[in-house]
Amino acid sequence: MPIDLSGRVAIVTGAGGGLGREHALLLAKRGAKVLVNDLGGSLDGHGASSTSAERVAEEIRTAGGEAISNGASVTEFDQVQAMVAQATDTWGSVDIIVANAGILRDKTFAKMDLEDFRAVLDVHLMGAVHCIKAAWQGMCDRGYGRIVLTTSATGLYGNFGQSNYGTAKMALVGLMQTLALEGARYNIKVNCLAPSAATRMVEGILSSEQMDALNPRAVSPAVLALVSNEAPTRKIICAGGGAFEQAHITLTQGVYVGNGEDAAEQLASQWEQLADQEGQLVPEQGFEVSELELQKAGVKANEAAS
């Protein structure tokens, strides 16, 4: 059955162009009422203009959908609260958040100013936190919410010259892990999307053929699926060029060496066994790691305190 978002209200940040624009257009095409947010700044986060957000909102309205624009900076919580209030006052609720806003300030760690490190974290991580926090209680009260956080393969696997960006993107995975658990009782589904797309962030890096193959439009179906009524939760979905994969943070069976004087030496001699992926796990919650370690030590988890 086609995914139908009729009656749902979505906020898409960083939607004045690139991936965010495609996400907003597709959600609107499937019936969602969309608040198009974009600060309208440069790639590194400087400047501001409401033009791009309004242009996308007008595209949606011209196509017969419902949309409003918003130029809030996701780094300013009071502006984000006003943005959520704008959507709620206009349409009655906020059901979907697609946290897509981001900036780049690439340099090797040795050459990177701490200001540039903080700025990237502020937009990607705290920008997402602000949006979710402003809408979270309303989602809990209504018993419905769909949240998509934009992570990256850089966060999952690293990328030279992007320590700030990678840190922010992996932090969003940690945010997802806990919010998915806390939101489960309220029918709030929280997932991460790691896109591969030809946006202004990769201009000059990819060939024209690669740019064509990685059209941002090919990523947006993953967003649509992740905000649907039947969406999963706590998934890391990679998407690019029409291909989709799921990434996992796994735990190997590992080794047990005890707590003797030579524990470090025993560990150092067993790196290969430690890394053996046979029988690896995907823990449901963080404490399950401690449970596994206690089990290896011959101690029951509920006896740990004693």
In this structure, is the dihedral angle defined by the CA atoms of residues 255, 293, 166 and 154, taken in order, positive or negative?
positive
In this structure, is the dihedral angle defined by the CA atoms of residues 15, 17, 23 and 28, taken in order, positive or negative?
positive
> What's the token pair of residue 88?
């709620």
Question: In one letter, which amino acid is 181?
Answer: L
Question: In one letter, which amino acid is 199?
Answer: T
The domains located in the chain, with CATH, are: 9-247 (3.40.50.720), 263-303 (no CATH)
What CA–CA distances, in Å, run from 33 to 27, 66, 86, 106?
Answer: 8, 5, 12, 35
Report pLDDT digits (tens) over 88-124: 999 999 999 999 999 999 999 999 999 999 999 999 9
Q: What integer is the mean pLDDT of 16-21?
A: 95
- What amino acid positions are annotated as catalytic residues? 165
What predicted TM-score, i.e. pTM, was given to this entire model? 0.91
CB 251 within 8 A of CB 281: yes
Given pLDDT bands bounded at 50, 70 and 90, which one contains residue 48? low
Which pLDDT score is estimated for 28? 98
Summarize the chain as % helix, strand, coil (round to 5).
45, 15, 40
> What's the token pair of residue 117?
């490190």
- 199: pLDDT strictly greater than 90: no
Q: What integer is the mean pLDDT of 239-258?
A: 94
User: Is the pLDDT higher at 216 or at 47?
Assistant: 216
